[in-house]
Structures are given as C-alpha cells and as structure tokens.
C-alpha cells in the first residue's frame, strides 16, 4: 500500500522492550551488534567490557567456538523433535551429564526454556509430589521478601519484589514470605558471607507455626539473591532452613538460575554452601545464554514418588513444546564441554580473593553505602537520591556504558557485577578503574 509509511530499519517503535525504560532507551539507544570473549561490540564500534555476563548467563564468555559449532551442526541435523511421548538422544545425554554435575541424589532433570519456567515447574513438582504421597493438604508455598523467581504467576507469587507483583492482581493464594536477609546496619562491607542474621531462618518456623507446618509444601529461596541486588545469605542461614524443612516435612527449593554453573566457584550454590535442596531450578549458564533453556533437578525421592500407577499413564502432566529442544541440548553440551575443558566451574574460586579485593576497593567512594562479594558476584550499594530512588544507580549505568565502555546491571540503587568466568585480572582491574571514575563523578 503506497500510503503506508515504510518502516525504517532504525524504527524503534514496534519493539516493546522487556524490563526497560522504553522511552528513555529509544531516545538514546544502547545497541549491541557483536560480541567476543569478555566484550560486546556496539553499533558505534566500541568494545564494551561485559561486567555482568550478558544478564548473568554468559559464563564462558561470548561466541565460544565449541558452542557455536554444536548449535550450527545440530540445526543442520535435527531441527526439532517433539518432547511429549518422543525424544532425541541428546536430551538423555545432556540429562546424564547434568546429573553427574549436580549434588548427589539430585539425579533427575526436567527441561524447560527459561528460569521462569524452571520455577513454575519446580513449584508444580512440589505440590504434585505431596499429592502423589497422599499428603495433598500441603498446598502452601513459601518465598522470601526481595526474592526473584522469574515473571510467571507462580514465580511472582513466591517472589518478593514489589514492583514485579503489584500490578498483577491477586497472584497465587496460599503463599507467604519470610523476611529478607539484607541488613546493612549489621553487615555493611562484609567480605563474603555476612556474619549476622542466621536467626532470620527461624522466620520459616514462625510462618510454619502460623499456618500449621503440615499445610506447607515447599519453601523456595535463591542461595544468593541476584536480581534483587546481590543479597547474601548470612553464615549458617541456608543450613538452618534445611533443618527446619526436615523437621516439618517441607521441601526446600533452591533457585539456582544465577548461582548454578560456576558463579560461586562450584558447580552449584548447593555445593558452595554444603546444603542439599530437594529441587533445584537452573537456566542461564546452562547454555551460556546462547539458546533459551532451563533445567530443574529433582531429588530421587521426588522423582520416584511420581513413578507409580499403570505404566502407560503420563506421570506428571506438565511440559513445554520446546522442552529439551535439540538446539538447546546441543548448546548445553557444547557449554558443558567448554566449562570442563577450561576448568570454568571452579575458576570463580581461584579468582574470588582478587575479585573481593577489587570490589571492596570501591568502598569510600561517593554515595557508596555497601560493597559485597561472593564467588564471582559483586555489588556496590548506593545511597538513593532523596525522592528519586533508582536514579543514581541508573545514571551510573548510563555513564559506565556510554563513557567508560563497561556494562553493569542495576536494581534499585544497587550496582551488580557478575562477569564471565573467563575473566582475567586485567579485566577485574579495568572494572575497578572504570567504576572508580563513574562513582567519583556521580551526583
Ligand atoms: C533466581 C532467578 N530465578 C528465575 C529467573 C528467571 O529467569 P528467566 O528470565 O530466564 O525466566 C532469574 C532471572 O534472572 C533469576 O535470577
């Protein structure tokens, strides 16, 4: 039609961007056109140091040859296979490899396409497990304030980020929340796990007593809360949660979408903290961010509880068209090979001290009210501008990207760092240098 305006290649109006200040972005776009290793390439030809592994997911760095090749080969061999009542070999190969990597006894893997879907899957598994055991009176799900468990209805219900919940009605019923563990009055500038706050785990007991423990199906927490701004578990906190769950027959779900696949210098957060959950949700680093995929790890007793009844019957009425997608499986296998060959799952442990020194060296700069670290995660918390929360950190983000070639991530007034695990000391130094300039100039 001649009178229809021709859409320009640089027309930004049609794409409604997720978790983005759309109007601000479209006034001054930040466009990425390429990537390699530790860097992004921008449309104006700059090399931007990736301080956040994309979105906490590109753990092996960008455009890794094994992963690229695995995806390309798979696309040309088997594009798609149905995952309901059918399968392809790589799905089994991947599940076995993952079960070998996971804590002992979490030997069953259910594939999804994202962290959000992994969370929904784990919550449903928990409820259905109790039903399968004849304990269907356990219907409550417990989350935690400031928890992030993706954006689907189950996830935002157990999640505790107000902005992600308040627009969306009544959410799931039968949900309650423990207090969060972030306490700058006692733990500011802690190196590693904070000393104070183990008693906050007893908030689960309070909630259990309020509702009657026998009505609670599961509690879900991130071992380290990432998206809410790197909130660390106090020493002993996760162990105490496990004890309370055991005492009261409550399942413990670790949401390891960020802490999985080497972020803390161990395979999973469960390994780092020495606490074994009943269910573990993962995504992100599973395919190094290349193809959407998530995986839920189920303890053997959970899985086995479903394996009863006539054997022609479906045991768990749940799954996705793209569960165990061949391209995602290939990408994940290429990713696991890359992690293994380069020792990346333990590299966070080797770099942790250098990283901790670097992050804490930002203490004392203007507006900095906390610096914290664990594994290859770090955060700088800023004093918010009175009456304009989030603005200060967002300004830092813009300045870092536009003027200092550094990609960081902000939540509220917290700046988070979570670089690819291939990071070298020189990159750590660059992050500190550039952040020092950004913070020094910040209003
Ligand atoms: C702990 C946690 N759970 C779930 C999710 C949701 O993952 P996705 O965005 O892949 O749905 C995230 C994403 O950041 C996360 O950090």
**Would you kindly state where each structural domain of the chain is located, as residue ranges?**
22-63+344-441, 68-342
The upper half-sphere exposure of residue 121, i.e. CA atoms within 13 Å in the direction of its Cβ, equals: 28
| Ligand 1 atom closest to 150 (CA) | 6
Helix extents (H) in 299-343: 300-306, 326-342
* CA-closest residue to ligand 1 atom 3: 149
CB 256 within 8 A of CB 283: no
* CA-closest residue to ligand 1 atom 15: 257
Asked if domains 22-63+344-441 and 68-342 share a fold, the reply is: no
| Ligand 1 atom closest to 281 (CA) | 3
Q: How far is the CA of 116 from the centre of ligand 1 (A)?
A: 6
| Ligand 1 atom closest to 222 (CA) | 1
Task: Tell whether domain 22-63+344-441 is in CATH 3.40.50.880.
Answer: no
* CA-closest residue to ligand 1 atom 8: 115
Distance between CA atoms of 439 and 206, rounded to whole angstroms? 41
Tell me the best of 18, 56, 116, 147 to mutate to test the pocket of ligand 1, counting ligand atoms within 8 Å of each CB and taking the most. Answer: 116
Q: Quick one: pLDDT at residue 9? A: 57
| Ligand 1 atom closest to 225 (CA) | 1
Q: Quick one: pLDDT at residue 3? A: 52
Lining residues, ligand 1, CB within 6 Å: 114-116, 119, 148-150, 222, 226-227, 255, 257-258, 283
Q: How far is the CA of 252 from the centre of ligand 1 (A)?
A: 18
CATH (residue range 68-342): 3.40.640.10
Distance of CA 44 to the CA centre of its chain: 30
Q: How far is the CA of 122 from the centre of ligand 1 (A)?
A: 13
* DSSP, residue by residue, 203-233: HHHHHHHHH-GGGEEEEEE-SSB-TTT-BPP
| Ligand 1 atom closest to 283 (CA) | 10
The residues, ordered by sequence, that sit 6+ positions from 387 with a Cβ below 8 Å of its Cβ are none
CB 194 within 8 A of CB 186: yes
Ramachandran sector of residue 367 (left: φ over 0; alpha: ψ -120 to 50; beta: rest): left
Q: How far is the CA of 115 from the centre of ligand 1 (A)?
A: 4
| Ligand 1 atom closest to 256 (CA) | 1
Which uninterrupted H or E stretch holds 110? strand 108-112
Q: Quick one: pLDDT at residue 46? A: 97
E strand residue ranges, 127-184: 140-144, 175-178
| Ligand 1 atom closest to 152 (CA) | 11
Tell me the best of 152, 222, 258 to mutate to test the pocket of ligand 1, counting ligand atoms within 8 Å of each CB and taking the most. Answer: 258
Distance of CA 396 to the CA centre of its chain: 23
Q: How far is the CA of 284 from the centre of ligand 1 (A)?
A: 8
pLDDT of the chain, 443 residues: tens digit per residue: 445 544 545 799 999 999 999 999 999 999 999 999 999 999 999 999 999 999 999 999 999 999 999 999 999 999 999 999 999 999 999 999 999 999 999 999 999 999 999 999 999 999 999 999 999 999 999 999 999 999 999 999 999 999 999 999 999 999 999 999 999 999 999 999 999 999 999 999 999 999 999 999 999 999 999 999 999 999 999 999 999 999 999 999 999 999 999 999 999 999 999 999 999 999 999 999 999 999 999 999 999 999 999 999 999 999 999 999 999 999 999 999 999 999 999 999 999 999 999 999 999 999 999 999 999 999 999 999 999 999 999 999 999 999 999 999 999 999 999 999 999 999 999 999 999 999 999 99
Tell me whether residue 360 is exposed, middle or buried, using C-beta atoms within 10 angstroms of its C-beta: 0 to 12, 13 to 18, 19 or more: middle
Which sign, positive or negative, has the C-alpha torsion 298, 301, 302, 304? Answer: positive
Strand partners, 32: 42
pTM above 0.95, yes or no: yes
Tell me the best of 55, 113, 114, 115 to mutate to test the pocket of ligand 1, counting ligand atoms within 8 Å of each CB and taking the most. Answer: 115
Q: How far is the CA of 52 from the centre of ligand 1 (A)?
A: 14
């Amino acid at each position: 039609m001649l009178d229809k305006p021709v859409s320009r290649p640089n027309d930004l109006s049609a794409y409604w961007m997720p978790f983005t200040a759309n109007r601000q972005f479209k006034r001054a776009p930040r466009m990425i056109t390429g990537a390699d290793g530790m860097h992004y390439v921008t449309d104006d030809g700059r090399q931007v140091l990736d301080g956040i592994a994309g979105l906490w997911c590109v753990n092996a760095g960008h455009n890794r040859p094994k992963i690229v090749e695995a995806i390309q080969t798979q696309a040309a061999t088997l594009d798609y296979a149905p995952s309901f009542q059918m399968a392809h070999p790589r799905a089994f190969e991947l599940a076995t490899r993952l079960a070998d990597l996971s804590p002992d006894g979490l030997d069953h893997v259910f594939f999804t396409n994202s962290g959000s879907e992994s969370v929904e899957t784990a919550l449903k598994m928990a409820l259905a497990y109790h039903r399968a055991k004849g304990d269907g009176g356990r219907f409550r799900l417990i989350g935690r304030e400031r928890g992030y468990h993706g954006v689907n209805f189950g996830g935002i219900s157990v999640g505790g980020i107000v902005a992600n919940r308040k627009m969306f009605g009544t959410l799931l019923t039968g949900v309650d929340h423990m207090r969060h563990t972030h306490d700058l009055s006692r733990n500011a500038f802690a190196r590693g796990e904070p000393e104070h706050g183990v008693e906050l785990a007893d908030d689960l007991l309070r909630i259990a007593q309020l509702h009657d423990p026998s009505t609670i199906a599961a509690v879900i927490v991130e071992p380290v809360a990432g998206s809410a701004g790197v909130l660390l578990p106090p020493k002993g906190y996760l162990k105490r949660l496990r004890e309370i769950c055991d005492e009261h027959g409550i399942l413990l779900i670790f949401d390891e979408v960020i802490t999985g696949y080497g972020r803390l210098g161990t395979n999973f957060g469960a390994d780092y903290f020495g606490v074994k959950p009943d269910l573990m949700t993962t995504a992100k680093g599973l395919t190094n961010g290349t193809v959407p995929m998530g995986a839920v790890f189920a303890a053997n007793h959970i899985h086995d509880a479903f394996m009863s009844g006539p054997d022609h019957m479906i045991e768990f009425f749940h799954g996705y068209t793209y569960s165990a997608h061949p391209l995602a499986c290939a990408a994940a296998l290429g990713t696991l090979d890359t992690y293994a060959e380069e020792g990346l799952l333990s590299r966070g442990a080797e770099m942790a001290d250098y990283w901790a020194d670097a992050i804490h060296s930002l203490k004392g700069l203007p507006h900095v009210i906390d610096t914290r670290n664990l594994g290859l995660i770090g955060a700088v918390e800023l004093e918010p501008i009175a009456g304009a929360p989030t603005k200060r950190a967002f300004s830092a983000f813009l300045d870092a990207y536009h003027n200092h070639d550094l990609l960081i991530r902000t939540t509220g007034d917290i700046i988070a760092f979570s670089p690819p695990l291939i990071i070298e000391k020189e990159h750590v130094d660059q992050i500190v240098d550039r952040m020092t300039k950004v913070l020094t100039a910040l209003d």
